[in-house]
Amino acid sequence: AAVLRRGKNASKATVAKHATVQEYRASTGFECLLGWLYLQGRNDRIQELFDALWEGYQPE
């Protein structure tokens, strides 16, 4: 949680063209979490997170 929070708060003030500030910061925090897990060698946890994301995915 601390890694995600730090990554989310560390993002720049700029925002992508088609994203809200909240979406941009949340995605930056998630990217930070994935990078930290990768560096820790926690590929199993990365797989769990992606499995959870795809489980709830509903294409429009």
With a cut of 70, say whether residue 56 has pLDDT above it. yes
32, containing H or E segment: helix 21-39
Closest CA to 34 of 53, 18, 15: 53
- pLDDT tens for residues 2-49? 776 666 666 566 666 777 877 777 778 888 889 899 989 999 999 999
Q: What is the pLDDT of residue 14?
A: 65
DSSP state of 10: T
Say if CB 15 and CB 24 are below 8 A apart: yes
- Give the pTM: 0.67
